[in-house]
Amino acid sequence: MKIDNVCIIGGSGFVGKHIANLLTTQEIGIRIPTRRRERAKELLVLPTADVVEANVHEDAELDRLLVGMDAVINLVGVLHGDFSAVHVELPRKIVAACNRNGITRLLHMSALNAGADRPSAYLRSKGEGEKIVMTTGLTTTIFRPSVIFGPGDSSLSLFARLARLPVLLLASPDAKFQPVFVEDVARAFAASLSAPHTFGQRYDLCGPECYSLRQLVEYAGQVTGHNPAIIGLNNSLSYLEASVMEFLPGKLMTRDNYHSMKVDSVCGCGGPNKLAEVWGIRPTALEEVAPLYLANRMPRERYDRYRHRAGR
Ligand SMILES: NC(=O)c1ccc[n+]([C@@H]2O[C@H](COP(=O)([O-])OP(=O)(O)OC[C@H]3O[C@@H](n4cnc5c(N)ncnc54)[C@H](OP(=O)(O)O)[C@@H]3O)[C@@H](O)[C@H]2O)c1
């Protein structure tokens, strides 16, 4: 299967930008829809990128986006809001649009622990989305990462900002994660596009090590020179904090996020790793790259933050 042109739906986000950068270096043509072109400004300079303002929930717009494409990557996801529209109905529409336009290759981003019997609506909706894209006759590959870190992330960067507080009341401090580097995720996507051994497969993606949420916040603080007093909340207080935060601007946490964290987001903690097994990628450790971007050594990061604050 030769892939020259790819439509990256959700390509204007954190992971999408890294995948777009990588595909561009391989001279693959990419089309990236966004609701606001302004948000995807840094993609405009990529030589093979076509950034298009579009409403991907409209069939006619999807048809327009898929003209001339050989494959679709779907990265659209939300942590709060209408999970059904974004994680279930949109994949259904994308699959139908692929079928209408003769596209057979689909790479779909899900999340680790996605499934019908999960404690959060986020994970259940991601599980439903997986079922839809897997039972279509398309050649699909599904990626299920733990939390993803790297320049432009919203997890580690948020922890670093929170670590500036003198005292931090931390919900779900013992929740476990096995963070995976965004460049490793991007390489796995790029390498899968035309690799037959990945067709019809579903991969859990994790980094080399596991950390509790408390350890991640402590680490982000340490890297940025802050040492807040972290008070871990028990389950009821964590739920209470999430209930309050869900009504504050920015929704740093919701009750659904709290429910997601009841299931450890890990895949083996130091055991065999799919990145190495499937694509020969050595999983990058958090400590190898996080100091480079958390401590603001990458000027681009500061601009990302200013843009985020300005709502652009
Ligand atoms: N980041 C992580 O740690 C992590 C971990 C596990 C799984 N994932 C999954 O990986 C995928 C990418 O994550 P990310 O961190 O790159 O997300 P992100 O930065 O928030 O980007 C989300 C993308 O989806 C688009 N989008 C959001 N809501 C939409 C809606 N209602 N309708 C249409 N488009 C919408 C945005 O496009 P606009 O330009 O239009 O805003 C943006 O391109 C998601 O599916 C996420 O669930 C991420």
* 80 neighbors 48 (Cβ within 8 angstroms): no
Q: Which atom of ligand 1 is nearest to the CA of 152?
A: 19
Considering only the top CATH level, what class is 5-146+181-205+268-283? alpha beta
Q: What is the DSSP letter of 18?
A: H
State the chain's maximal CA–CA distance in angstroms: 56
Q: Residue 93 corresponds to which tokens in the numbers above?
A: 């529409």
Which residue carries 């409403």 as its tokens?
Answer: 55
Q: What is the pLDDT of residue 311?
A: 52
pLDDT in tens, 166-210: 999 999 999 999 999 999 999 999 999 999 999 999 999 999 999
- 200 Cα: distance to centroid of ligand 1 (angstroms): 23
> Are 98 and 59 in contact, with CB atoms under 8 Å apart?
no
Region of poorest pLDDT, from 26-30, 155-159, 182-186, 304-308: 304-308
Residue 43: predicted pLDDT: 96
| 181/290 Cα distance (integer angstroms) | 9
**Ligand 1: which of 61, 78, 110 to mutate, most ligand atoms within 8 Å of CB?**
78
Report how far residue 171's alpha carbon sits from residue 177's, in angstroms, rounded to the nearest whole number: 14
Q: What is the pLDDT of residues 132-166, one digit of tens each?
A: 999 888 999 999 999 999 999 999 999 999 999 99
Q: By alpha-carbon position, which residue is closest to atom 17 of ligand 1?
A: 13
- pLDDT exceeds 80 at position 13: yes
Residues 158, 93: Cα–Cα separation, whole Å: 33
Query: Does the C-beta of 14 come closer than 6 Å to ligand 1?
Result: yes
186 lines ligand 1 (CB under 6 A): no
pTM > 0.75 = yes
Identify the band that residue 270 occupies on the pLDDT scale cut at 50, 70 and 90: confident
Is 103's C-beta closer than 6 angstroms to any atom of ligand 1? Answer: no
Mutational pocket test of ligand 1: of 61, 75, 216, 263, the residue with most ligand atoms within 8 Å of the beta carbon: 75
Out of 7, 8, 9, 14, mutate this one to test ligand 1's pocket (max ligand atoms within 8 Å of CB): namely: 14
HSE-CB at 142 with a 13 A cutoff on CA atoms is 23
Per-residue pLDDT, averaged over 68-88, amounts to 98
9 lines ligand 1 (CB under 6 A): no
Q: Please count the other Cβ atoms lying within 10 Å of the Cβ belonging to residue 309.
A: 8
What are the residue ranges spanned by the domains of the chain?
Answer: 5-146+181-205+268-283
Residue labelled with tokens 């622990």: 113
CA distances from 104 to 28, 29, 94, 136, 225 (A): 17, 17, 11, 10, 49
